[in-house]
Every structure is written in structure tokens, then in C-alpha cells.
Amino acid sequence: MTKNCAICGNKIKLLDQNLKFKDGFADEKCFKKAGLKTSMSDITWASEHNIADLSKLINNGETINTKELAKEKKQDAKADKQDKIDKIWEQFKKVGVSDTFGTKKEIRTLPDILSDDETIKYATSGFLEANTVLMVCTNIRILFLDKGLVYGVKSTEIPLDMVNSVNYSKKIVFGNISIVNGAKTTLIEQVNKDTAPKMVDAIKQARLDYTNSSNQRKIVKEEQSLANKLRDLKSLLDEGIITEEEFSKKKKQLLNI
């Protein structure tokens, strides 16, 4: 297939160096005007930009250092993640989290797992299936995070509306937490005996708040639906499609009068 440079229109031969952009190709003569080569960072930059971006650089007599851009992007991403981790620690402090033993790696993965509208209610460390996990209760779910040395992050969760019951038992040093959802029971062992009851209380309160919030949303939705039905019914009356008597009868049915 014949390729032509989207900047100058010249034919790009089989062995000619070129860069592939999102919407076309640029030959060596043209992409060099913008300071580009065929390094991996240049190839990546080109694949993420349009020919118009290259044309703008050339017309303005500007050059670009994609290695420095990639470095700055990486630093910004690192700073952004650190900012999110700092905010997580602020939430931990606010709700009184005191035991995160052995879960530093798991905490650093939380920014990638929590959604923007998710808030932490409590957290503690424990053992799940013989592995150290970070147990986190949020306003919508219970998370169990395990960052292995070889594998990546193993994340399991129980939505709050699926929790049937949650209990804890104390031993001499540690405590256990059991969560029942459906026919399954999740047992978290070797939980700090002081944080175990706090986690159970946090889950119970979060589940109650979630249920109340869901019920409220349901009520609002039903009220909006009723209002729409009444408006539609009134439109039928105004257009003469139904009589006043039919309107009154149907309205009483909708309002359960």
C-alpha cells in the first residue's frame, strides 16, 4: 500500500523512515523539522497526536522533546497518585484507623481502586485465606486487598447491600470478623482485637446508611414517576382526549385516594 506524507505529500518508500500519527504519516524530512526522530518516545508521541499537531509545530518553527514530555507526564502522574494517597491517609485519620500493619503496598493501590464518590468508613489489617489483607469499609462496599510479591493486586469485595450479617469474636491477642452474604461466609482472622469491633460497627452503620440512601432514591424516583404520570394525564384532559370525569377517576387511582 502506497503511503504519502500528510505534510508535504511526498511518497514514502518502503525503507524510508516515517512516523505514524493518529490520522496519517509524516516522512523523515517533515518530522525532523519538529525535532522528532524515530525513538520510542517519539513514536509513542506521534501515535497519540494528529498530523495537525505536527503541522502546527512546523509552522510555528517549534521543536519538541518527547523524552522530557514523557518524564514530566510520569512525574505528574506520580505526584497525582501521591496526592490521592495523602487524602486516603487523611480519611484514615478522620475515622480513627489505627492498625494497617503489613499493608503499606495495599494502601498505595487504593487510589486505583476507589471511585471518586467513594469514602472510607474504616480500615484494618487481617488475614484472609492465610494472606495478609487490607480490609476497607467504604460507603458502598467492603474491600479486601492483597498485593503479592509476584502477582499483582488481588482485590475482592462485598457490596454493602449484599451483607446479611457481620460479627466478631475476640481471642487473647487477636479477633475474627465473619461476614455473611447469601450462602457465603467470609472469615477474616488475626484482626487486632481493638479494631475488630470498630470495623464491625463501621460496616453495620455503612450498611444502614446505604439502605436509607437507596430507599430515599427510590422514593424520589417514584415521586418523579407519579408527577410525570399526572402531567401526562392532564395533557390528555387539556387535549380533549379524556373527559373531566375520566381525569378525576384516574387521578384518584394514581394518588390512591
pLDDT tens digits, 108-124:
999 999 999 999 999 99
Averaged pLDDT for residues 221-249: 81
For 155, list phi and psi in degrees, rounded to 5.
-120, 125
Cell of residue 11, nine digits = 511518497
CATH topology for the 75-204 domain:
PH-domain like (2.30.29)
Q: What is the mean pLDDT of residues 198-225?
A: 85
The three cell numbers of residue 242 are: 379524556
Helix (H) or strand (E) holding 72: helix 66-95
Q: Note if the pTM is more than 0.75.
A: no
* pLDDT, tens only, 152-175: 889 999 999 999 999 999 888 899
Q: How far lies 47's CA from each of 54, 160, 168, in Å?
A: 12, 42, 54
Residue pLDDT, tens place only, 80-94: 989 999 999 999 999
Residue 192: which H helix or E strand, with range? strand 184-192
- What is the grid cell recorded at 148? 503479592
Which three-class secondary structure state does DSSP give residue 134?
strand
At 51 the three-state DSSP class reads: helix
Q: Cβ distance 168 to 177 under 8 Å?
A: yes
User: Which of 142, 138, 124 minimizes the C-alpha distance to 181?
Assistant: 142
What is the rounded end-to-end Cα distance, in angstroms, of the chain? 75
DSSP3 helix / strand / coil % (the chain, rounded to 5): 45, 25, 25
How high is the mean pLDDT of the chain?
91
Quick one: which of 20, 54, 50 has its CA closest to 4?
20
- Of 100, 96, 142, give the one whose Cα is nearest residue 118: 142
CA 9 to chain CA centroid, nearest Å? 44
